[in-house]
Amino acid sequence: MEEPELAAPSGLPTPEPTADPIPESASTATATPTATVEYRLHPKAPKVWTIVASIVAAFPLTGGTITFFALELYWAPPLLAVLAVVVVWLLTRYFRRYARTVSCQLSPLGLLIRRGVWWRAEIFVPRERVQHTDVDQGPLARRFGMASLKVFTAGSEHSQIEIDSLRHSEALAVRDELIDRSVEAMNDGPGDGSAA
Amino acid sequence: MTAAEDTSAAEDNPAVGPVLRLHPFSWLFVLITRLRPFILPAILLLFFGQGSSWELWGAVGAVVLAIYALIYSFGFRYQIAGEELLVREGVIFRTERHVPFSRVQSVVQKRNVLHLLFQVTELRLESAGGTKPEAVMNVIPVAEAERLELLLRHGATTAADSDAGSDLDSASASATEAAAEPLLRLPTSEVLRLGLISNRGWIVVGMFFGLWWQLAPEDWQLWRLAREPLGQLFNIWGADPATALEGLMWLVPIAIGFGLLLKPLSMVMTLLMFHDFRLLRSASRLGAESGLLTRRSASARADRIQRLVMRAPILARLLGRRTLACDVAVQRQDDNADELGRLHWLAPIATPAATDRLIAELDPAMAFADRQWQPLHRDAWRRELKGWVIAALIAGVVLWFPLRHLTVVPVLALLILGWFGSRGWARFAAWSWDGRALSYRAGWLVREWTTALIANGHSASLRESPFDRRRGMATIGLSTQGAGRMLFPLRIPYLPMVTARQLHRELTTTMAAAVAGAVGRSAPTGRSGSRRAS
């Protein structure tokens, strides 16, 4: 690789990459110059995750409380409750930070997913390598109008990439866009039509 | 009617062949395949068992299986219809399956002593998708298998139609052999060298202990035998630190001695597996065959090779040898344990010059030689050393109890080893990207190389851990299809952040373009259609 060409890195040194290093590369590619669309998570995503975490935390909390009452350790349950509140509060903060890092960019080249607070990852999947996609909606997600998008590839790593808590409409948009393109790409062959 | 008669009939109309059956003795092989998991326990029960009702049930099961095998193998039909193979099989539920030749990615043949006796072979056809082989012919005559393989080879490249036709008519094994030029052939001396390098002796040791565990009579059980030496070990442990250290130091020559003792076993194992290894190439297919008692052959379309992995453990390097393996895009990763069950080894052992020549012949773009290797981050060795330091700390904590102040000795030994290990690792570690292929190499005692064409990439990733961020590093990965989990991954760690960013950007743009081109060209890789009828 030619060392002198090392362009100034346009994103990462700043802790919170907001948008962009990819568009410039997109313009150098052979594909059609369609704009890159960036999707972020639903603004309520951290809230929903917190609700889920609270529900999960409630089980050991009640179990612990009952046990402590049975053992007549009456000072323990309040302590447990305080601990639970602190943990949930820390988680909420983490969720908020994490949600801000998640970005899903759809360019003419493919899908670039970026996320992570401490362990950061940027995963790129070319359009033609998307095997199929799933859009899932749980009961909570449906209430808030969000959905999770799963992208499957045939590679042995990242064979399933899940983006949780996108806006439902946007998850569908990404899916439709990916399907359209991959159908276009193999319009001569018997497309396996498994993208659903 | 026998398969041989059918072949002669097929000469009249090569497009739609006659309906063919398996070899008349197929039921025997089907039966053996079905019974294999039970044979060893059955024998053992016979010798060591206390005569329970299980034997009776076993016998009933065997009879049922025998009947099944008979019906199954006599009911199996296949037919060549133009560019596809038609298979009808099943006892109660009949399955009719169309296997287009272009979809067959991998052809595997298996022959053991019994097969050789009957001049037959087991043939398996696999496609890229799915978890089951497309067709398993258990068993057909060798000549018939050769004919089918020939058809497959030429089915993919329809240009050579007339040529294929004449080849088919002769349908003789020798003609096929002549057509395929061996890219590599291992003489026995090389196979023995391979045994010296490899640790396949452990397989035998594992099996031996497994059997012992199952079968040993009461007072020969493993834990009873091990109790006394273990007790002695604990006595040493409990004694003064100096004796404990002496005991610990004895472990080193014992381990080395055991390793040396295993080498003859390894050599026997490799001889069984790799005797007369041949790598053959004909038209677009690449095939490997080997084995002493059980002869196995596996082939795949050369363009389905996704990634190359080269290895040079220290012993191999002393002998001036390397190993070369490949990933083929057949999605059956659960089957990875069976290294001869598909095309995996391109060169189980070869000189560096030979491996370089081999790669050059397969695809010069994947060559390891003449690459512009770039070093990793200059602090990469420190990150590697960290692992050794943590290991030394854990060892120190564990050994503190018996060794006390002498804990310093093993901890220091580990740290010194770690120093050389991480420096050596980082000195050799390097990556290379030339616009077509991404390569990575690393290792200290075991040096490894891997390379993949960007057009075979399925996703590219850039990762950054908090430790990476502290030193301004990142990891670049390229995911390919069918990569074995145990094999050296194409994941380049400890790259300088700036380099990693730029490399990632280049990989994404090049991959998008290359993949778009590649997908347009190659055939779809779906599973072939099948239909079920009762």
Choose the mutation target among B458, B492, B525 for the interface with A, i.e. most A CBs under 10 Å: B458
Instruction: Report d(CA B123, CA B148) in Å as an integer.
Output: 9
Is A85 a member of any domain?
A: yes
Closest CA to A87 of A122, A132, A121, A56: A56
Is A66 a member of any domain?
A: yes
Q: 């043949």: which residue's tokens?
A: B109
Closest CA to B85 of B125, B53, B58, B54: B125
Identify the domain containing residue A68 by its residue range. 46-96
Instruction: Report d(CA A99, CA A117) in Å as an integer.
Output: 9
pLDDT in tens, B259-278: 888 999 999 999 999 999 99
On whether the CB atoms of residues B173 and B7 are closer than 8 A, the answer is: no
Of all residues in chain B, the percent with pLDDT exceeding 90 is: 37
Closest CA to B316 of B277, B349, B269, B276: B349
In sequence order, which residues have a C-beta less than 8 Å from that of residue B231 and are 6 or more positions away? none
Scanning A68-107 for CB atoms below 8 A from B yields none
pLDDT in tens, B108-167: 888 888 888 888 998 888 776 656 777 888 888 988 888 888 887 765 444 333 333 333
Most confident of B199-203, B281-285, B530-534: B199-203
Work out the minimum CA distance from B482 to partner chain A, whole angstroms: 6
* Chain B residues inside the 8 Å CB shell of A27: none
Is A21 a member of any domain?
A: no
Please report the ipTM that was assigned to this predicted complex.
0.75
User: Alpha carbon B126 to chain centroid distance?
Assistant: 15
Instruction: Report d(CA B201, CA B209) in Å as an integer.
Output: 13
For residue B103, count CB atoms less than 10 angstroms from its CB and return exposed for 0-12, middle for 13-18, buried for 19 or more: buried
Sorted by where each begins, the domain ranges of chain B are: 3-180, 195-273, 380-425
A4 touches chain B (CB under 8 A): no
In sequence order, which residues have a C-beta less than 8 Å from that of residue B229 and are 6 or more positions away? none
| Number of domains forming the structure of chain A | 1
- Considering CB atoms only, which of A129, A156, A191 is closest to B333? A156
Write out chain A's pLDDT in tens, 196 residues: 333 333 333 433 333 334 444 343 333 334 444 688 999 999 999 999 999 999 988 898 899 889 998 998 888 888 988 998 999 999 999 999 999 999 999 998 999 999 999 999 999 999 989 988 899 998 999 999 999 999 999 888 888 999 999 999 999 999 988 877 655 555 544 433 333 3
Element (H, E) at B473: strand B473-480
Scanning A20-49 for CB atoms below 8 A from B yields 21-22, 25-26, 28-31
Is A129 a member of any domain?
A: no
- Reduced to 3 states (helix: H, G, I; strand: E, B; else coil), residue B449 is strand
Q: 């034997």: which residue's tokens?
A: B55
Work out the mean pLDDT of chain B and round it to a whole number. Answer: 81
Scanning A126-165 for CB atoms below 8 A from B yields 126-129, 153-159, 161
* Chain B residues inside the 8 Å CB shell of A2: none
Work out the minimum CA distance from B520 to partner chain A, whole angstroms: 7
Instruction: Report d(CA A16, CA B183) in Å as an integer.
Output: 53
Instruction: Report d(CA B488, CA B308) in Å as an integer.
Output: 10
What pLDDT score was predicted for residue A181?
A: 62
Preceding peptide of B139 cis, ω within 30°: yes
Contact B520 A123 (CB under 8 A): no
On whether the CB atoms of residues B287 and B298 are closer than 8 A, the answer is: yes
Q: Supply φ then ψ for residue A71, to 5 degrees.
A: -85, 0
pLDDT in tens, B431-446: 999 999 999 999 999 9
- Looking at residue B421, the DSSP 8-state letter turns out to be H
pLDDT in tens, B429-484: 999 999 999 999 999 999 999 999 999 999 999 999 999 999 999 999 999 988 87
Work out the minimum CA distance from B376 to partner chain A, whole angstroms: 13
Q: How confident is the model at residue B92 (pLDDT cuts 50, 70, 90)?
A: confident
- Looking at residue B527, the DSSP 8-state letter turns out to be P
B517 touches chain A (CB under 8 A): no
B374 touches chain A (CB under 8 A): yes
Instruction: Report d(CA B272, CA B112) in Å as an integer.
Output: 11
Q: Supply φ then ψ for residue B119, to 5 degrees.
A: 60, 45
